[in-house]
Amino acid sequence: MSEIAPEAVAEQVTPSTPDATAEVGRARLRTEDARLITGRTTWTDNIQLPGLLHVAFLRSPISHARITRIDAEDARRRPGVIAVVTGADLAGEQGSLPCAWPVTEDMVLPDHPPVAVDEVRYVGEPVAAVVARDRYAAVDALEAIDIDYEPLPAVVDMERAIEEGTGLVHADKGTNTSYTWVFEAGEPDAAFRDAPVVIERRYVQQRLIPTAMEPRAVVCSAVGDEYTLWSATQIPHILRLMLATVTGIPEHRLRVIAPDVGGGFGSKLQVYGEEVVCLLLARRLGRPVKWTESRSEGNMAVHHGRDQIQRLSLAADRDGRIRGLKVDLLADMGAYLMLVTPGIPLLGAFMFNGIYKMDAYSFRCTGVFTNKTPTDAYRGAGRPEATFGIERMMDELAAELGLDPLEVRRRNWIAHEEFPYDTISGLTYDSGNYEAATEKAMRLFDYDKLRAEQADRRDRGDPVQLGIGVSTFTEMCGLAPSRVLGSLSYGAGGWEHASVRVLPSGKVEVVTGSSAHGQGHETAWAQIAADRLGVPFEDVRVLHGDTSVSPKGMDTYGSRSLAVGGVALYNACDKVVDKARRMAAHLLEADEGDLEFSGGSFSVKGVPGQARTLQEVALAAFAAHDLPEGFEPSLDSEATHDPENFSFPHGTHLCAVEVDTETGFVKIRSYVAVDDVGKVVNPLIVEGQVHGGLAQGIAQALYEEAVYDADGNLTTTTMADYLVPSAADLPTFTTDRTETPATTNPLGVKGVGEAGTIASTPAVVNAIVDALRPYGVDDVPMPCTPERVWRALRAAQSGQAPPGGSPEPGAGGGLGSAGGAA
């Protein structure tokens, strides 16, 4: 391995140590924990209201069928049953679930009734709802609903779906193609013409089930024409607007509350039919209703993630320099387009080039309908898929040229002195230092020593081979500059809102439009406000997640909360200080320009003892007895921040795996993640986010897959079949950071929520392939279960074509219960 440019290492990229009094940068223990560790949490399902009724949904057992008859009379007569509604009953009021991202002008956008009316298009689609006095009575009555289905052809394979003559998911649309979206930069054909090296691969991003630990739940009450809806959602603000749009209930009559929410990972960035139906039922019945899903129905009905077939071509010179990259994707939409379904794969369009320089790039994505659960955002959302593609290709290029995978990356990545850098896909990366992160990761990993051990095991023919996987990733986060969203035809902006109230006692309330569901905003936001205002951390309370309390917001997803919402808070705090400065100058009978603000106190420069604290100023403003001319008696301020650019966290992840060539079993021996997420508000929270992200990315590489059989039945409906890893399935991670501040926001922050997931999947698969490459293996389809590793080895050794990312489900679904085509 040749050396990483040593001058880069000397750069000041070591994480900054905050001064002892600063809150930002301090590893504060979380204030959220107090209620979470004692069981005093308000999960949606914990909410009880007088007269509360319980809802249960009957779901389609068939992937594609016409509903020819529904008889719900027996169910209605069951004891304790208040109402049974079918799609036909709701047809006049249920509307169509929204898709906010029409990615092309001619995108095919089918109607999506919350409860199916005359046709079902995936297993798990709601067909009726029962309202009863308790959970058990509601579920009991589902059995008494009698439905006749006339089966229609199931479309389960994306590549076949777009062939002529295949059955149609939406017959009236005449096609299974929702859209084709293209992007091109440079001259791709010229770049590939006469290229000394061309590598072509087909990779499959298997379908995943997000699996937040808290299942979805909704409570809705109607009092007169005022509605309150509690939901386990990431997006109370967007949900309020969308529910108003779908149901016609005026937005100002609808309050949406996201109470304590037990994780989301994108799955609760959605407007779900169950939310609409609970609202309609509360309106119809005049009584509050609650619905809580079981995990088994959730696996079928919560939107899924990933599910792409990637055809990638990379052209390079003999020295490893990339000339161009061509990306051709099939992206499975599932049966309907949900909130941002069609846009998810396009978030990868700008990331396939990764951290690398190249002359030309083309991207083409075809969104395909199938009779499966709709897909939408899952942690990383388009960017893990892109990062996987490019990082796997870089390893393939290295293997083709006989170069170390880090060396081939070094020859192509953007050097630290080249920032800001305009990438081939049209983004401007503001800051980064790939050399420094890589150098640190290699040191922590003991790269050369592990390479030596690998060589030794190869020489000895050890049945347990060592593989080393590299992923030098970047991502775009801080979603998103509104003008960019506009140019991509997204239906809304990407700003975030914050307001700061200084109470008469000097305590501070921060209201944020971001909507935490496990991230720790209550702690981190208080740190930011405490620093900017110079008040004690304990004096700041953060309010969020209720449209009555926090009326403006764009919610939490896409690693946006800190990079957008945190900056809004920063700006709002500065406005408070500006107002207070004027008031303080008045009180001190000094010129504003002669005041300095430090440690929460305004003092007159050069006049010791002449000072007013922010709290004193707040009280004086509250009393309002003596105000500057024209001064409104309040320090309260708000800010809406629209980012000028995305932010670009990056990092180098190195993974060592031991692969048992006799059993196919993969064991992660060590995992090093060096991430550069810019400035850090709370290193404890950042480390936690990285750990959890790694777990999910590793899970895609090794364990998880939503498996459908040939008839479109999901065979991984339970946690026994869909393998969320346990503590015993994951290694201890070594994490560290380098720090190049973002230059596009005053906090210098980049976001961290998705980095671990985006980076880790290719690191693990690269490691497995690296271990097996001497055996002729150049790919193992995910998840790389023992069976698939074993089959890849046997196929390579018997001279058969390697599996090449075959979508054939193996034991990936779990404990051998996943049938599939295997």
Partner 1 sequence: MPHVSVDVDGVRYEDEVEARLLLTHYLRDRLGKVGTPIGCDTSNCGACTVLMDGLSVKSCSVLAVQADGHEITTVEGLGDGQDLHPMQRAFHEEHALQCGYCTPGMIMAALDLLRDNADPSDEEIRAGLEGNLCRCTGYQNIVRAVRRAADGMRQAERPEEARS
- Residue 25 C-beta: closest distance to partner 1, Å: 16
- Residue 520 C-beta: closest distance to partner 1, Å: 7
- Residue 693 C-beta: closest distance to partner 1, Å: 8
| 3-class state of residue 573 by DSSP | helix
Which lies closer to partner 1 via its Cβ, residue 294 or residue 797? 294
E strands in 661-740 = 666-676, 733-737
| 3-class state of residue 738 by DSSP | coil
Angle at 791 between CA 790 and CA 792, to 5 degrees: 90
CA pair distance 629, 156, nearest whole angstrom: 71
- Residue 257 C-beta: closest distance to partner 1, Å: 17
- Residue 544 C-beta: closest distance to partner 1, Å: 14
Cα torsion 138, 140, 141, 146: sign: positive
Which lies closer to partner 1 via its Cβ, residue 514 or residue 696? 696
Of residues 773, 735, 781, the one with CA closest to residue 755? 735
Which lies closer to partner 1 via its Cβ, residue 113 or residue 259? 259
Cα torsion 503, 508, 509, 513: sign: positive
CA distances from 386 to 211, 349, 365 (A): 22, 7, 12
Which lies closer to partner 1 via its Cβ, residue 76 or residue 295? 295
- Residue 680 C-beta: closest distance to partner 1, Å: 14
Site of interaction with partner 1 (CB under 8 A): 29-30, 32-41, 43, 45-46, 48, 134-136, 211-215, 260-263, 265, 294-296, 517-520, 684-685, 687-689, 691-696, 718-720, 724, 726-728, 730, 732-733, 756
The two tokens of residue 51 are 């007269």
Cα torsion 63, 68, 74, 76: sign: positive
- Sequence letter at residue 371: N
Rg (CA), the chain: 28
Q: What is the DSSP string of 315-365?
A: EE-TTS-EEEEEEEEEEEEESS--SSGGGTGGGGTTTTTTTB--SEEEEEE
CA pair distance 122, 129, nearest whole angstrom: 17
Which lies closer to partner 1 via its Cβ, residue 427 or residue 818? 818
- Residue 340 C-beta: closest distance to partner 1, Å: 21
Q: What is the DSSP string of 465-528?
A: EEEEEEEEEE--BS---HHHHHHTT-SS---EEEEEEE-TTS-EEEEES---SSS-HHHHHHHH
Which lies closer to partner 1 via its Cβ, residue 88 or residue 139? 139
Which lies closer to partner 1 via its Cβ, residue 15 or residue 110? 15
Which lies closer to partner 1 via its Cβ, residue 121 or residue 653? 653
The two tokens of residue 518 are 């496990």
CA within 13 Å, CB half, 747? 35
Which lies closer to partner 1 via its Cβ, residue 399 or residue 730? 730
The two tokens of residue 614 are 């922010």
- Residue 132 C-beta: closest distance to partner 1, Å: 13
Which lies closer to partner 1 via its Cβ, residue 758 or residue 793? 758
CA pair distance 293, 45, nearest whole angstrom: 10
- Residue 728 C-beta: closest distance to partner 1, Å: 4
- Residue 298 C-beta: closest distance to partner 1, Å: 9
- Residue 721 C-beta: closest distance to partner 1, Å: 9
Which lies closer to partner 1 via its Cβ, residue 30 or residue 284? 30
In contact, 303 and 373? CB cutoff 8 Å: yes
- Residue 384 C-beta: closest distance to partner 1, Å: 16
Which lies closer to partner 1 via its Cβ, residue 197 or residue 724? 724
CA pair distance 748, 741, nearest whole angstrom: 4
Whether the ω angle into residue 384 lies within 30 degrees of 0, i.e. cis, is no
